Amino acid sequence: MFDPLFQPIIINRMEVKNRIFMPAMHMNMAGNYAVSDRLVDFYTERARGGAGMITVGYATVDELSGNPGNIGAHKDIYIPGLTRLAAAIRDNGARSSVQLNHAGRYNHSMLTGGRQPVAPSPIASRMTREIPHELDIAEIEEIIACFARAAGRVKAAGFDAVEILSGTGYLISEFLSPLTNKREDRYGGDFDGRIRFGLDIIRAVRATVGRDFPLLVRMNGNEFMAGGSNRRELQEYAVRLEEAEVDALCINVGWHEAQVPQIVTKVPRGVFGYLARGIKERVAIPVIASHRINDPDLGRSMIADGYCDMVALGRALIADPYFPEKARSGRDADILHCVACAQGCLDNLFKMKAAECLCNPRAGYERARALSKADSPLTVTVVGGGAAGMSAAVSAAERGHRVTLHEAGDRLGGQLLLAGAPPGREEFLGLAADLERQVQLAGVTVVLNSTVDPRLLEKTAPDALIIATGGQPIAPPIPGADLPHVFQAWDVLTGRAITGRRVVIIGGGAVGIETALLLAEKGTLSGDALKFLLVHRAEPPEELYRLATSGSKDVTVIEMLGELGKNFGRSTRWGMMQDVERYGIKSRATATVVEITAACVRIEQDGAVEEIAADSVVLAVGTRSHNPLGEAAAAAGIPCRVAGDALKPAMVYDAIHQGFAAGRAIG
C-alpha cells in the first residue's frame, strides 16, 4: 500500500529514506558547547526509531551567537564531538544535518559573559529588554565568514547536510524584517537590502561546502509580528533562496516573541501547513512543513494534498522516538502522541535545565533510565488508573513484573479526563487513551470498578504495591459552600454539573482558569460554524470575531493571591491569560470570599466588601492527596511506593514521571 510518509526523497544528491524530518531544537544538553554523551544517546534513540533525517542544534558560529548549552561549531576543538554525533545518527539509519544560527538580539548578556548582544539595529526585544550593539559592515562580513567556517566544520565532521536558521527572530531574520532593521546602508532599506545578509551567508556557505553538499534553510512562513515581514514577502525570500542554490526549505512559524501561539496544546494540529503550501507553490525544491504535526495520518495528508514534501516532527519524536517505525509498520495506534504542553521541552529551557518530556520520562535520560529486566519477577499491584498509575504499571511491567492495575471507576484516565475537558486541551484526552494503550501493550492486567481495601490487599498479598489513588477536590470552609447551586470544578469539567448564566469561580489556579474558559466559550461560534459563515460572507469578519469570543455566560474568577494561573507552565500561561481577556472573563485578585448566598458571592478586597451576583458558584480551590492504603500496606508488611497526587498534588508531568520512577524502582 502506498504511504506518502515512507517514500524516499532526494535533496541535492542525498537520498532520504522517508519524509519524516526531525528539526533542530535547543536541548540544552551540550556541556560548554561540547557534544555530551547525553546528547548522543538522545539522538541515537531517534535515529533508531526510524526518522528519515535528523537536524541537531542550533549550533553556534561565534561566541556571541549562542550560549554554552548550545552545540558548538565555532571552533575546531568541537569537531570530534560533532563527528561522534554524526556517526551515531548515521550508524542508526538516519541522515544528519546541523543547524547553524546566530541569536542576534535574542542572546542575553548574562549568557555571554556580560558582552552586549548584536543586531542590525539597536532595537531591544521584548524577551531580553537589552539594547543590542548595531553591527558595522566589517562585523557583518566577519559573521558571514563565521557561518561559512562553521559549515565547513559540519561537513568535516561527517554530517550529510547543513542547515541555516533564517527565522524565529534570530539574527538573519532580524536583518530581513523591517521591524528590526532600520539600516540605511546596503544591508538595510528596501527588500533587496534586507535580504542581502541572509543571501550573503548562503553564498559563503555554498562556496565553502561545495555544490554537491546539501544546504537547507529554516525560514519563517510568517513572522506574526506587527510591522514585520509579511507572508508574501517571505514567499519571495524563499524564491531568492532557491536562486542562491539552497536545496530545501523548512518552514518555521513566528518569532519567539510573537503573540500568536505556535506549539502549545491549544494550537490545532497542522494549522500552519498553509504557510508551507504558500511557499511550495513558488519553488521547485523540497519544502518541509512544521509545527503541531504529531500524528502520522496528518503527515500523510499534508504530503498527499500538496502542502509540503516532508513533515517536521520535533516534539512528536521527543515524546515517542519510535513514532516513524510504528507508523511504517502499521502500528499507528501504538504511538504516544505529544500533547504540546511545552512543560519539559520548552519551559525547562527558561529554567536553564535540559529539555525533558511530560509524556516520556526517558527523554534525555535514555541511558540513565533504561528499563532492564528484573532478576526475579514480582507480583505488583497498582492502585489508581490515572496518569501516575498507568505510568507506574507500564514501567513495572516492562521490567518483567506481573502487574495488576486496579481502577475504582469504569475507565482509565483519572484527572487526564479533567485536563482534556476545556476547549483547546483535548490532547490530554488523547494522552489518556495513549497511556491506556501502553498499558495494554505492556501486558498489564486491568481491573475496572475495583476499589482496593485492606481485605483485598490481604487476599492478593502482592510482592509490591504502588499507590496512585490521586487526589480529591478541597471543600473550603466558606459559609454557604454547601448550597445546592455550588459545584466543584471537577463536576463542571466532566459535565456532571450545569451552571447558570452568572457564574462565580472561587480559585484562580489552573483548574479555575480552565473551568472559566470552558464556561466562557458556551454560546460562541464553533469552528465549523465560523468557517461556514465566513465562506458564505454571512457576517462581516469583525462580527464573526465577536460571535466567536462572546459567549452566553457571565464569568468571574476570585483569587486570594495576586496572580491568576500561577501553576500553569510558563509557555501555556501567557496564552491562557490572553484568552481570559479575549473571552471577557472578569477577575478579582487578592480577594477573600466571605460568604456564598443564594444570590451572590460576598468578597472582601482591600478592606471593602463587595457582592457579586451569581446563579452558580464553582469551587476550584485546590486538591488534597487521597491515600487510603498507606497504613494498611505498612501493617501488612507490603513494600509500598506512592506516586502522583496521592503523594503530593502537582501537575500531570510530575504524575507521569513519579509513576515511571515508582514502577522502575521495583525489584
In 3D space, the residue among 118, 131, 124 whose CA is nearest the CA of residue 65 turns out to be 118
Confidence at residue 576, expressed as pLDDT on a 0 to 100 scale: 87
Write out the DSSP string of 352-418.
T-----SS-TTTT-TTTT--PPPSS--EEEEE--SHHHHHHHHHHHHTT-EEEEE-SSSSS-TTHHH
In 3D space, the residue among 231, 240, 255, 263 whose CA is nearest the CA of residue 165 turns out to be 255
Confidence at residue 77, expressed as pLDDT on a 0 to 100 scale: 98
In 3D space, the residue among 181, 180, 70, 175 whose CA is nearest the CA of residue 125 turns out to be 180
Domains of the chain: 4-350 (3.20.20.70), 379-473+624-664 (3.40.50.720), 486-621 (3.50.50.60)
In 3D space, the residue among 514, 519, 593 whose CA is nearest the CA of residue 559 turns out to be 593
pLDDT tens digits for range 90-148 = 999 999 999 999 999 999 888 888 899 999 999 998 888 899 999 999 999 999 999 99
Residue 304 pLDDT greater than 90, yes or no:
yes
pLDDT tens digits for range 653-664 = 999 999 999 999
Average pLDDT, the chain: 95
Confidence at residue 128, expressed as pLDDT on a 0 to 100 scale: 87
Helices (H), 187-321: 191-194, 196-209, 231-243, 273-280, 296-304, 315-319
In 3D space, the residue among 439, 447, 386, 438 whose CA is nearest the CA of residue 417 turns out to be 386
Confidence at residue 346, expressed as pLDDT on a 0 to 100 scale: 86
pLDDT tens digits for range 409-463 = 999 999 999 999 988 899 999 999 999 999 999 999 999 999 999 999 989 999 9
pLDDT tens digits for range 534-593 = 999 999 999 999 999 999 999 999 998 888 888 888 888 888 899 999 999 999 999 999
> Grid coordinates in use for 48?
533508531
Cα gap 54→60, rounded to integer Å: 18
Amino acid at 202: I
Cα gap 618→485, rounded to integer Å: 9
Q: Cβ distance 282 to 301 under 8 Å? A: no
pLDDT tens digits for range 132-190 = 999 999 999 999 999 999 999 999 999 999 999 999 999 999 999 999 999 999 999 99
Give me the residue label for grid cell 487526589.
Answer: 471
**Percent of the chain with pLDDT strictly greater than 90:** 90
